[in-house]
Amino acid sequence: MPRTTNKQKKLHVKKGDMVRVIAGNDKGAEGKVLKVFPKKERLIIEGVNVRIRHQKPNQMYPNGGRVEREVAIHISNVQPLDSNGNPTRIGRKRIDDAETGQGRWIRYATTTGEELDR
């Protein structure tokens, strides 16, 4: 049954997570997630999928030239790492906050059971 009220995509990784690339040219590489694009289902990982971009002269690069930049990869090609440094699947569970009395959803690693959200 399709979503009717909340059309937001639920992704298994967030900005700041440590992930490992499991498919593609950079398979096996690990890094920190710098930016996530939920609508496109892509993300940028620090030091992964680096490409050379030709830069026009500007204040930051007065002479212009060739600049290496990370390029986005598809979110299905990465898995988050648990505390042991192993790739893991993600589960979601609802916890009740004692101070506010409201519940919230958190992500947890299925391999170790530890919570990934703070």
Closest by alpha carbon to 48, among 80, 19, 26, 22?
A: 26
Residue 84 corresponds to which amino acid? N
pLDDT digits (tens, 9 = 90+) for 34-71: 999 998 999 999 999 999 999 999 998 899 999 999 99
pLDDT above 70 as % of the chain: 98
pLDDT digits (tens, 9 = 90+) for 91-115: 999 998 888 888 888 999 999 999 9
**DSSP letter (8 states) at residue 102:** -
Produce one character per residue of 78-107: b if its CB has 16 or more CB atoms within 10 Å, e if not.
bbbbbeeeebbebeeeeeeeeeeeeeeeeb
Size (the chain), residues: 118
